[in-house]
Structure 1
Amino acid sequence: MEGNESLSRAMQERDLTQVELADAVNALLVRSGYGGTVSDRTVRNWVAGKTRWPHPRQRDALEAVFGCTAGELGFSPPARRRRPAGEPEPPVDRRNFLTTSTAAAAAVVFPVGAPPRVGTSDVIRLRSGLDALLELDRNRGGHEGLEKAALAGASDALEKQKLGATQRIRQRLFSVAADYTATAAWSAVDARQMDRASQLLGRALYLAGMAKDSVAKMRVWNSYAMLAHHRGEYADAVDAAYAAQGTTIARRQPFFASLAHARTAIGHSNLGDRQAALRSLGHAQESLGKAEKGEPLPSWIAFYGPAELMAMTAIVRDRIGDSAESEAASHQALRTIPKQFKRNRALATARLALAQLHQRDIDQACSTAATVFTLMSGHPIPGRMRSLLGDYYRDLITLAPDASIAREWGDRYRTEWSRL
């Protein structure tokens, strides 16, 4: 007997256990004036495919919980048979049922008079809001509005955590709050608000610990490594990257391990340790090759993959003096970084300009650096990118102090490069 893969997938997408789905369906039935008789065994039969067409009231409740039809959930009615006279199917007022249950489906509902509680659907709603903020970050980069919105999301999650229906739900809400706070921290890093970022990362790490969430911890240590990098605290950046490697998720899933190794490679390159940097890059590439294709990943790490690893390779290679290899890695990254990651493409372009500059290809470097502003047209330049362009200009006037193109580049782009 085949299992119901559609229902299993829908439960996984909403992070619902069999017990939680039974509770949600029962709550809707009770709220609608019927008895709640669904057990986890009932759900197990649905998932296993033993029950192919649930009772009409249960079907309506399932449709209300998941927001789709029973057919889309993998159920199918039995072959039609002639019903004996006097054996009509119990009528269900579908419109009234769904009207009554729609509001209830927004959370795991409790009977009238019970204290307000929150459940899995609240977690799902909060995470969808987080995804919207991450999309904004990909296009524009870190800024004050993004940070404030992320902190508001964290506050909302923590308020709901106080009303969590179960300990499991409360931990999930701590996890959501950790992710929102880490998003705010990352926005501060990108905007080069370093002290603020440090405070927020400390808070995010605490929340991740309360959630017992290894993925959130990995995210925070990754951001700590970047913060230390931008502060010039390179030994601390290596330590944070090793902490990211030590998280449970990095030990279990090669994809996360790859990012942690790549971050370690950058730290070693900044310390001038060529062999350690190249060794860490090799580990990053090997781990990425072992990662399962198509595995579900949190949205915050969607930026990472072969293209981003090439962009990070470009940084490492340039830092250890391999400018030609850095240029090649930057070109490879830019061929594959998705178009919607405008900020990442602009950063990779600036890195390409630096690699060309360090090979004394002054004209080409200036032309490449100019395209950064085209990529970011219509958006303020994030602080981290302004700093990188400042590094480019300082190297430009150091390596070619008498070149007219160096003065022209500075005169032409100083205003754009400084815009907030």
Structure 2
Amino acid sequence: MTVNVALKQQMIERGLTQDELARRMNDALEEITGRPGEVSDRTVRNLLSGKTLRPIGRTCAALERVFGCPVKELGLSPPRSAVPPEDPVLRRTFITATTGTTAAPFVAASRQVGVSDVERLQVGLNRLTALDNHRGGHLALEKAALAGAQQALDLQQYCVSERVRQRLFTIAADYTSRAAWSCIDDRRPDQAQHYLDRSMIYAGMAQDSTAQFSAWNQIAMLARQYRRHTDAVAAGQAAQGLRIARRDPLFASLAHARIAIGQSNRNDKQAALRSLGHAQDALTKAAPAPRPGWIDFYGSAELFAITAIVQERLGMSAEAEASSHRALAIIPERFRRNRALSTVRLALAQLHQGDLDLACATVTDVFDIMQGVEIPGRIRTELSGFQRNVLDCAPKSAHVADLIHRLRPNGS
């Protein structure tokens, strides 16, 4: 006996275990005959091991209904014509399926989905993540992310495997989170909130704590935009309590960092610095591992950038300047938007130490970094905040007029 490679590959593609295939075959037989099937996991084992090469008519019909293809494509031989299926209804279904006189059992074939469909959608999601890192949030990215989420939701209607269905819900959650993030980065918080509500639903249906973490991470950032700093801390704590954060120190570190930002915005200095310490400790324990592409931004560089935000909020401008320099020294080139944000924060730390000329020279680098694309709303908001600070300390400075000009829609 030799292993039935064709059947095994089809099961892998659709994410089916032996027990689950047996259940699906019994469901198919009930649909065909009106009576529950009696396929067992032993039947499936015999098919996989090669012990059964020519299954009976009922088994063949069930396999073809589940996989949407002739049994020959599953490495099996159909019953000999001299051996009719046991049931007249089943006989008609089996004969018409194998002769091609009706497409009924095969209609689902072009619509059944499996692991390769999930992987295809994941590739598209990774491309959107790379685009966001380079350009920042914008309307076209938001629309593309929503289209990807809808594809995943449409495909899960035709799954034969619960595992693949859950993975598709994860993909839908991740795409919807990407749309939400585009809105957060573009400073459209109300629309972002709508998408995050949907993303959390999909993540729950997927039973995926990583997708839930992504949503809570963005909810913390959104709360910051709304200036609901206690909510931001609570969102970070919710992320911290998820299974993925307990299992993977990288996620735990990011949760601590989000909590630190919220605490600093509440001017809770000791708690914020303590959370930063926890974030650093957790990050040192994080080992390389397969992770979703959206969290690639987080590492030592991003933690330095977040540390600078916390220190600046707490009035520690010299320390914030040093942290921003450390972040900029190691931010990967592909994270152009993050580099621009850290540059604004570096300029603000310099300004708060009284070095107006140096700060304004630093902030002009942002326009060079983002050259060729429209500056995302989040960066524009940071630049506007820098401009207000310059007005407060030097209202007649020529730097103010230059910033006003550059921040106009067609000014750069």
TM-score (norm. length: structure 1): 0.73
Tell me the CA shift for residue 191 of structure 1.
0.6
Which residue is equivalent to 2:182? 187
Deviations, residues 105-128 of structure 1 (Å, cap 9, x unaligned): xxxxx9846553111111111111
State yes or no: 1:224 paired with 2:213: no
1:269-418 aligned at under 5 Å gives the runs 269-292=264-287, 294-402=288-396, 404-415=397-408
- Cα RMSD between the aligned structures? 2.6
8 Å CA contact 1:18, 1:40 repeated in 2:
no
Give the direction of change, closer, same or farther, for the CA distance of 1:162–1:378 in structure 2 (3 Å limit): same
Whose Rg is larger? 2
Secondary structure of 2:303's counterpart equals helix
Tell me the CA shift for residue 412 of structure 1.
4.5
Secondary structure of 2:364's counterpart equals helix
CA distance in 2, matches of 1:323, 1:168: 50
State yes or no: 1:118 paired with 2:92: no
8 Å CA contact 2:14, 2:161 repeated in 1:
no
Give 1:362's aligned amino acid: L
Give 2:363's aligned amino acid: A
Decide which of 212, 215, 219 is 2:207's aligned counterpart.
212
8 Å CA contact 1:19, 1:39 repeated in 2:
no
Deviations, residues 162-201 of structure 1 (Å, cap 9, x unaligned): 1111111111111100000000000010111110000100
Which residue is equivalent to 1:241? 236
Give 1:354's aligned amino acid: L
Give the direction of change, closer, same or farther, for the CA distance of 1:117–1:285 in structure 2 (3 Å limit): same
CA distance in 2, matches of 1:247, 1:341: 27
Which residue is equivalent to 1:95? none
Tell me the CA shift for residue 232 of structure 1.
1.1
Tell me the CA shift for residue 409 of structure 1.
3.3
CA distance in 2, matches of 1:38, 1:392: 71
1:122-141 aligned at under 5 Å gives the runs 122-141=117-136
Secondary structure of 2:153's counterpart equals helix
Tell me the CA shift for residue 400 of structure 1.
1.8
Give 2:198's aligned amino acid: R
Deviations, residues 387-412 of structure 1 (Å, cap 9, x unaligned): 0101000011102224x343343354
CA distance in 2, matches of 1:359, 1:159: 55
Tell me the CA shift for residue 240 of structure 1.
0.7
Give the direction of change, closer, same or farther, for the CA distance of 1:219–1:360 in structure 2 (3 Å limit): same
TM-score (norm. length: structure 2): 0.74
Which residue is equivalent to 1:142? 137
Determine what percentage of the aligned residue pairs are the same residue.
52
Give runs of ≥4 in structure 1 deviating > 4 Å. Answer: 14-20, 36-42, 110-115, 416-419
Give the direction of change, closer, same or farther, for the CA distance of 1:342–1:142 in structure 2 (3 Å limit): same
The unaligned stretches of length 5 or more in structure 2 are 1-8, 22-43, 51-103
Give the direction of change, closer, same or farther, for the CA distance of 1:303–1:39 in structure 2 (3 Å limit): farther
CA distance in 1, matches of 2:145, 2:107: 33
CA distance in 1, matches of 2:192, 2:377: 13
CA distance in 2, matches of 1:175, 1:17: 15
8 Å CA contact 2:16, 2:160 repeated in 1:
no
The number of residue pairs the alignment matches comes to 326
1:40-51 aligned at under 5 Å gives the runs none
8 Å CA contact 1:134, 1:300 repeated in 2:
yes
8 Å CA contact 1:178, 1:207 repeated in 2:
yes
CA distance in 2, matches of 1:405, 1:258: 42
The unaligned stretches of length 5 or more in structure 1 are 1-10, 24-35, 43-109
Give 2:395's aligned amino acid: P
Which residue is equivalent to 2:5? none
Give 2:286's aligned amino acid: A
CA distance in 2, matches of 1:368, 1:39: 69
Tell me the CA shift for residue 417 of structure 1.
8.5
